[in-house]
Structure 1
Amino acid sequence: MPLPLYLLALAVFAMGTSEFMLAGLLPDIASDLDVTVGTAGLLTSAFAIGMVVGAPLVAALARGWPRHAGLLGFVLAFAAAHAVGAVTTSFPVLFATRVVAALANAGFLAVALTAAATLVPPDRKGRALAVLLSGTTVAMIAGVPGGSVLGTLLGWRAAFWAVAALCLPAALGILKGIPAGRDEDEAADRPALRTELAQLAGPRLVLVMLLGALVNAATFGSLTFLAPVVTGTAGLGELWVSVALVLFGAGSFAGVTVAGRLSDRRPGPVIAVGGPPLLVGWPALAVLADEPVALFLLVFVQGALSFALGGTLIARVLHEAAGAPAMAGSYATAALNAGAATGPLVAATTLGGAAGDLGPLWASGLLVAVALLIAFPLRTAIAAERSTEEFR
């Protein structure tokens, strides 16, 4: 894999750390800015919604920019938003910085997903996407627990400064490593925006976007509410929450790495083999959550399966949107974050029910079941090459 791809993954690591570390910082933010924890939680919603809306919007605005300039601009905007957030004493200003950061993150991912696919031969797009997404999984393993510890020791503002600092080497790497001339040649052959948007009418593209969103919703629905399961149902101390998050991240890294090597040539078998265990795994986790060894083992396995399937489906979004070279990445980003935004909302509705803290795990199983019920009769279409086949 080319070096520029790993530089893009470094920026994704910084952005993933910012997105996920906020859950552990909310009580301190609420106390410091004199708002309730529930109000502080709006920062998470602002980021997720900004990602969903911002991905296609920012990608459309930036489609005429040189690729390396767009990537550099988005990284610097993301860093600046965190620098402002780190010094503000106003909650509305902090809220605004999260929206700006989300738009910059969405724009960066939209361009980076497309750029990653152009840095490698067509038959290695899945592996390139796996390298890029590894930035997110490494953020779960190291960045999120690290941000939580840093926030505990030095305050939440230090965590924001750390994310801003992480963006600087990534920005330098993009400036030096992403070619500036290639996209000018591509621009001459680039379809009109209307043509790229028309790709969304393709049934296979809509299908893989929907499936990717459902799998991602299941993933983040349970991940968001994993802490009460660890401390409540399993009866473990708060330190073990970080252990569970690290294990989930390690599984995610393993899953996206292995699936990345298979998703280009065999996406159907990845979904067929990984789907049923993922479906069974969520309710199994709910049933065995009071057994710490089983809990941690299943957290690792579910992380691996979730990202193996999710990464494969997002890779298929790029394949199906091949006729939209500037917008394909934004479609993949929107699908990812639509799941990240809706999954916790669905999971939250189960917390007041009979299942209590285990409700989100059962909800995740239901979301995966819906995805598999949709995917099974259309499995041939999911794995088919876009240019040669239609739904069968």
Structure 2
Amino acid sequence: MPAGFVALGLGSFGIGLTEFVIAGLLPEVSRGLGLSESAADGSFSGYALSVAIGAILLTAATTRFHRKAVLVGLVTLFALGNLLSAAAPTYAVALLGRVVAALCHGSFFGIGSLVARRMVPPERASRAVAVMFAGLTIANVLGVPFGTLVGEHWGWRATFWAITGIGLLAVAALVVWVPSWAGTVDDAHRKVGLRPQLRVFRSWQVWLTLAATALGYGSMFGAFSYIAYTFTEATGFSSADIAWLLVVYGSGLVIGNLAGGRAADRNRDRTLIVSLAGLAATLTAFRMLAEGQVASVVLVFLTGVFGFAGVPGMPTRVTDAAGGAPLAAIANVSASNIGNALGAWLGGLAISAGLGYTAPLYVGAAIVALGLAVMVVTALSGRSASHLSAGPDQTAGHTWTTGASRQSASGVRTQAYVNDTRLPPVGRGSMV
């Protein structure tokens, strides 16, 4: 595996750690800052909404810059945000730090996915995205439990100090290991403004895929945001058990992410439908069997597997539906984080309504059921559309007009400046 993927993975690891670690630290943060459980969900929704907004704004501001330089700048901003949270005297300042860190999240994954795809042949696009997202999943296996333990022993601020250090390491790795050619933006692409890219959002396939993304993520976060309370209040685990339970969940994320990337390169729509259906069934069963400790361990693992099995396929699908427009990759990240905020908010409402700490599981199941219906409609309508009939990573002649030229976005070894997936010479970069 090229070292560039290691650098991208380290960046996604740090970002994933910042996003998810709060789930294990939520009780400590709530007590330390004098917040109720439902009020503390601002740590989730504030972060997620900042990701959604920041992704569009930063992408619009940096679309003509070299992508490697943009990634380095984004991770630097991420480290500064975590530094602010670590030193924050009040909840407002801590939340501000998370907002600053969140501003880089969406653009990093959107731009990073384009850089990752450029380093591999087109038929491995979803697997390339899965490798980059592996850092995000490993953050749940190793980082989140570690952060939880650090928070319990030395306070939640110590966790954010550690994340700041990881961010600085990621900056150095990106500078040294990501090849410059992987982040190059063609001269023709630099001349493309924001308005031509916005035209791709006239496509129903783009909007339906974004909706499925938002609902898929929202379902998982509807359950995950309050999983620590579910385990301690409903299942009967102690707070000391949360760390290893998150390892189980994170292991499912790793397996689901890698398996989903490989499966999506074979049949993307089928993989997305199966992953959403599996998540709906798992969350429903989890709610019904939440009082059983053995069943809860198995089901939280399956939640991770199905929850992330569709992650590699969604960004490649939406960018292909948009003819490779870079803004579409960012919109996918924004959609996922809008879903995150929605899921966390609805889960908090369910708890505040007195429905119990297992209620977020039903909230998640309901959200993903809607997402499954949207994905089925998307897949069926996509088959009848010529621009998606060619299958994964092929848009069968679908194009979008830049004003200067009109390029095919078919998944072949040709230069296409629109989606900038032009490959280096054979042997210059490959993914093992």
Unaligned runs of 5+ in 2: 399-432
CA distance, structure 1, for counterparts of residue 263 and residue 153 of structure 2: 42
Distance 1:269 1:30, change over 3 A: closer
CA distance, structure 1, for counterparts of residue 57 and residue 291 of structure 2: 45
CA distance, structure 2, for counterparts of residue 292 and residue 318 of structure 1: 41
Structure 1 residue 277 corresponds to structure 2 residue 278: yes
Structure 1 residue 212 corresponds to structure 2 residue 218: no
Distance 1:91 1:282, change over 3 A: closer
Distance 1:17 1:382, change over 3 A: farther
C-alpha contact (below 8 Å) 1:317/1:332 kept by paired residues: yes
CA distance, structure 2, for counterparts of residue 108 and residue 85 of structure 1: 20
Q: Which amino acid aligns with 1:356?
A: G
Q: Which amino acid aligns with 1:211?
A: A
| CA displacement at 1:30 relative to structure 2 | 5.4
C-alpha contact (below 8 Å) 1:314/1:336 kept by paired residues: no
Distance 1:188 1:338, change over 3 A: same
CA distance, structure 1, for counterparts of residue 48 and residue 265 of structure 2: 28
Give the equivalent residue in structure 2 for 1:330. Answer: 330
C-alpha contact (below 8 Å) 1:263/1:315 kept by paired residues: no
Structure 1 residue 140 corresponds to structure 2 residue 148: no
Give the equivalent residue in structure 1 for 2:374. Answer: 374
CA distance, structure 2, for counterparts of residue 365 and residue 51 of structure 1: 24
Q: Which amino acid aligns with 1:165?
A: G
Give the equivalent residue in structure 1 for 2:419. Answer: none
Distance 1:95 1:187, change over 3 A: farther
| CA displacement at 1:389 relative to structure 2 | 7.8
C-alpha contact (below 8 Å) 2:66/2:184 kept by paired residues: yes
CA RMSD of aligned residues (A): 2.3
3-state DSSP class of the match of 2:358? helix
CA distance, structure 1, for counterparts of residue 302 and residue 271 of structure 2: 15
Alignment of 1:147-166 (within 5 A): 147-166=147-166
CA deviation string 1:340-386 (max 9, x = no partner): 11111122232255752221111211112112222224423457346
CA distance, structure 1, for counterparts of residue 38 and residue 369 of structure 2: 31
| CA displacement at 1:302 relative to structure 2 | 1.7
CA distance, structure 1, for counterparts of residue 108 and residue 67 of structure 2: 10
Structure 1 residue 359 corresponds to structure 2 residue 359: yes
CA distance, structure 1, for counterparts of residue 146 and residue 247 of structure 2: 10
C-alpha contact (below 8 Å) 2:146/2:243 kept by paired residues: no
C-alpha contact (below 8 Å) 1:220/1:344 kept by paired residues: yes
CA deviation string 1:228-258 (max 9, x = no partner): 2212222221222223222111111101100
| CA displacement at 1:103 relative to structure 2 | 0.5
Structure 1 residue 388 corresponds to structure 2 residue 396: yes
C-alpha contact (below 8 Å) 1:199/1:324 kept by paired residues: yes
Structure 1 residue 228 corresponds to structure 2 residue 260: no
Q: Which amino acid aligns with 1:210?
A: A
Structure 1 residue 122 corresponds to structure 2 residue 130: no
Give the equivalent residue in structure 2 for 1:6. Answer: 6
CA distance, structure 1, for counterparts of residue 356 and residue 31 of structure 2: 27
Give the equivalent residue in structure 1 for 2:402. Answer: none
CA deviation string 1:64-100 (max 9, x = no partner): 2211111111111111222233223244333322211
3-state DSSP class of the match of 2:103? helix
Aligned-residue sequence identity (percent) comes to: 30
- More off after superposition, 327-336 vs 138-147: 327-336
- More off after superposition, 182-191 vs 51-60: 182-191
CA deviation string 1:155-195 (max 9, x = no partner): 22211111011122221121122233555552424533211
Distance 1:356 1:92, change over 3 A: closer
Give the equivalent residue in structure 2 for 1:171. Answer: 171
C-alpha contact (below 8 Å) 1:199/1:323 kept by paired residues: no
CA deviation string 1:238-280 (max 9, x = no partner): 2222232221111111011001012123012213433433222
TM-score, length-normalised on structure 2? 0.83
